[in-house]
Each structure stands twice: as structure tokens, then as C-alpha cells.
A and B are shown apart, each in its own frame.
Chain A
Amino acid sequence: MSTNDHQRSAIVVTGLMKQYGATRAVDGLSFEVAHGEVFGLLGPNGAGKTTTVEILEGYRQADAGEVRVLGLDPFVDGTALRSRVGVMLQEGGLYPGLRTREVIRLFAAYHGVGHASADQLLDDVGLTTDRDRMVRRLSGGQRQRLSLACALVGTPEMLVLDEPTAGMDPQARATTWELVRSVVARGTTVVLTTHLLDEAERLCDRVAIVAAGRLAALGSPHELTSGERREVRFTTAVTLDPAKLAHALDLALDAVVADPAGQYRIQAAGTPSLIADLATFLRDHDIAINSLEAGRQSLEDVFMQLVTEEGNG
């Protein structure tokens, strides 16, 4: 790959390895992030997401592989990147002994940004009424919002956010998504990690699913979920006999299972004729249906499948 291609991408990661003692936290990861793209890193606890983003942020040095952020090596050229990349750590990073507004104004000063923009940003993340509260007295979600504001205050070219909405209530989460979309609209590149598959689905242009430090899948949420779902799920008002239903659908007796949450899963593709047969069965037994899911698989399906495979493999 030529230097030009590297500069066309905001981030280039090739064969990244990072080991802590005997633990291979990152085990040969490669991906690229285009300028202006929202890129999500998904994966179970301990998959290596934080390790990867902290290498992008210049906190850790890769054991092997190549990393380029805005054309620079983050571990070596950290100083040059600090004013261009806004960072949100998975946890901590705020002075507990300062007030909310003092913190955002301090971070604004690091970037030569005035009080007015800092206060505006506090408003954007919904912390205006908490501006005089000590950081140590903020709730977890409020701290996350302040952290996000600190990441945004320098109007960076790139944002690296490690679980930005963890601990936020649904409204704060929606506000955060709006904020991220608005900075993306002005051309900012965003890398984020998340455990929320709907967040990835709604916010990210592309996602990388990482398991045990390796890339398990990479693509747009649409591409990843385009495989046909091999399962139909439904819930009913009253219980039914799974074996009877399986028989009625011409399936193996164990093809219908009731999961502990009271949801029934039919292990078969949700073809129109299967759905019709299901409807007939329910009519004949006078069972009301509460919900039905068939067709495209969700990102969650893909995720669970890949992560389970990785765990077994």
C-alpha cells in the first residue's frame, strides 16, 4: 500500500499485536477507517477493544504491526495528534475536586477555546443545570456526558470514544448520538467501542466485530445482517406445546424451543409458507400472538453467532 492510500484513510491498522504477559489482548488486527467515517468496534468483555483504541490514542505501544492515525504513528507523534484527536476513556479522567463548568473550561483552555463555546458544549450535553456541581457528586452518566464534552471541546478532526454511552439513560444516549452525528456532519472521523448493538447499527457506517483480539467480521451493519436468519421468534399470550407445533410445521420435534424468557424459537428459515403454517396452528389452537420476528437477522444475531463460534473454536 502506498503512502497516498494511507493518507486517504484516517486510520490504518495492519497486523496489530499486543500482549500482556501471557494474554494476547490484540492478536493480528487489521482495519482501515476512512475520513469522515463512523467506525464501531464491537466485541465481548476482554476482546481487546480498549487495548486497540488506546494504541490508536498513543497510550500503548504495539508489539507488532503498523498503526497510522491521520498519517502519523500515535506512539511516536503523540504531540502532533493531541490537538487533532478528541479522546474519551472507558472510565475516569476527570478531576473530582473541580466543578463541572470548571472542568470544561479548563479543557477548553488547553485547546485555546473560549468560555462561551465551552458553556455551549455543556448545554449540548445537558449539563447546564449541573454546572456548579462538583464532579465527584455527578452521577455516572453525567460524568460520561462531561467526558464527552471534554473530547469535543477542541473541535477535533477525529474522535476516539471508548464506550461513550455506557451508563447513560436512554435520553442521554439519544442526545449523544445526535451530537456524534452533528460532528460527523462537519467531517469528523469517529471510532467508538460499544456493547450496544442497536447503537452500532444506528450510528456506525461500518463495524468490526472483535473476539479474542481477532477480527471476526467487518462490514456495514447492513452487510453484516444481510444473511438470512435461520430462526423465527415469537411470543404468545398463553403457553403452547413446542413439540406439537414442531409436528404441525413438519419439523424435527426439538426444532421449536421455549427459552426462559417465555419466547419461542423455531429453528428454521422464516419462509412465507412456514409463517403461514405457524399462523394456522395458532388459529386452530386459539392462541393470540404478541410478537413475531422473522426475516433479516439483527446485528445481535450476527454478534452472538460469531462470538459463540469464537468461544467454541
Chain B
Amino acid sequence: MTRSALVAQVRAELTMTLRRGESLMVTLAIPLGVLVFFSKLDATIPDGYDDPVDFLLPGVIALAVMSAAMVSLGIATGFERRYGVLKRLGATPLSRRGLVVAKTVTVLLLEVLQLGLIVAVGAALGWTPNAGALPAVAIVIIGTVAFAGIGMLLAGTLRAEATLALSNALFLMLLFLGGMAYPIDKLPAVLESLADVLPAAALSECLRGLLVPGFGFPIGSFVVLSVWAVGAPLLAVRRFRWEE
């Protein structure tokens, strides 16, 4: 596999990603909508934040990561498997590693677009960047690995329609249990302890730990996120079937 093959693959993946309107709805419209809507509705924002956007922005970044790495990647890959594309690629000089690299680069580029828009809208709503931004990028990457692992696990084991339904359901569930629009300690105790071990809340809490001055870095959440980032891709690699 050559570099030009890889570049062509990334370009094709990116073209298809940007052509899928329903995917842009989940990856761009919903996170930005949540950011704007909840910043105007400060009822759910916990005490101790100067501005609702300071609480919301890390959660919305987590939401964006989840939508790009799990929902968009998972559904697209599931249907590529359904249409025999993954099988056909197996007979080309593009190696499986090449395909995985291309998909990774595509997700990261989509996230750059998402984060650019989120930060721009956040800034318009009064958010100011701080020194936590750089380590937050590392957390975003770890979160991407965790959610991409979940997305690929669904895509490589379920029928395409099931991947579509389940990844959207997970997205919605984790939006509510992910501490994104409101803090998880407002949840009933049972749900809160469930949310604590899921990757969504772990990601938004880690990002808050870095981006909100005085929040303190949540080591427990970081451990949970890291376990998902190792476990989900490993399981995906073991379980992935290239043909439906």
C-alpha cells in the first residue's frame, strides 16, 4: 500500500462523511444545538460556574467525539460491510491497516471541524480558552479511541440496521447519562452509579477537569475512560467480521 493510496482513501472517506446529511445532523447540528440551547436555559447548570458555557462546552465536546467516533463511524462502517465494500477492499492492495488508518484520520479531521465550530460558537457565547486546552486534546484522542472501538464493535458484529438503531440509541442514552447538558449528580443514584462507569461521563468529566479552572482533574473518570479506550478496540478487533 502506497501513501497515495492512503491519501485517496482518506479523501474518499471524507467525501462520503460530508455527503451524509443525517450524519452531519448528529455530528454538527446536535452538539451545536445543545450548546446554544442549554446555555440560554441556565436552570440545569450547577452552582459555581461563572457562565453556563463554561460548564457546557466540555460536555458538548464529549458529545461531538461520541457522535463522530461512535455514531458516524459505526453506521458508515456497518453499511460498508453490508454492501460488501469491506470484503471487496480485502482484495485490493489497500491493507486492512491502511483502511483503519484512513478511517482514523477521517474521524480526527471531522473532529477538528466539530471542535472548531464548537469553540467558535462557545467563544461567541462568552467562553474563553485556557491552559487546559492542550492536555484536553490528549483526552479527546483517548475518548475517540474508546468510542471508535464501540462503533467498530457494533459495525463488525451486528447487521447494519441494528448498528444504525443501537448506535443512535446509545448516543441518546449517553447524552442523558453523560453529564453533557446537566451534571450527573442530578441523576437518581442508580443511574448516577451506572453513568460513572460509562465512557461518556468519564470523557466529559475529564474534559471539565482540564478546561474548568479549579474543577480538579478526576482521576477516577480518567481510569474509566482509559479502560474503555483499551478494552473496546481490543474487543472490536477480536470480534470484527468483514462480511455480514
Contact = CB atoms under 8 A, between A and B. Distances in A.
Contacts of A93: 83-85, 87-88
A94 B88 contact: yes
A50 to B, nearest CB: 12
Given A91-B84, A98-B15, A150-B88, 6 more contacts: A58-B90, A59-B91, A89-B84, A89-B88, A98-B16, A110-B93
B130 interface: no
Interface in B176-210: none
A92 B87 contact: yes
A79 B93 CA distance: 7
Interface stretch (B2-10, B30-38, B162-170): B2-10
B12 interface: yes
Contacts of B95: 79
A158 to B, nearest CB: 12
10 A-B pairs with the lowest CB-CB distances in the bound complex, closest first: A92-B84, A93-B88, A109-B8, A87-B91, A97-B16, A110-B92, A93-B84, A83-B93, A82-B93, A110-B94
A83 B91 CA distance: 8
A57 B83 contact: no
Interface residues of A, number: 28
A112 interface: yes
Contact of A82 (B16, B20, B92): B92
A94 B92 contact: no
Interface in A102-126: 102, 105-107, 109-112
Interface string B74-110: 0000011001110110111111000000000000000
Given A92-B85, A93-B83, A95-B85, A110 B12 contact: no
Interface in A46-82: 57-59, 78-79, 82
A106 B12 contact: yes
A64 B86 CA distance: 27
Interface in B32-59: none
B19 interface: yes
A211 interface: no
A49 B227 CA distance: 46
B8 A105 contact: yes
B12 A92 contact: no
A102 B9 CA distance: 11
B91 A82 contact: yes
B77 to A, nearest CB: 12
Contacts of B15: 98, 102
A98 B12 contact: yes
B83 A110 contact: no
B12 A112 contact: no
B12 A85 contact: no
A219 interface: no
Contacts of A187: none
Contacts of A109: 4-5, 7-9
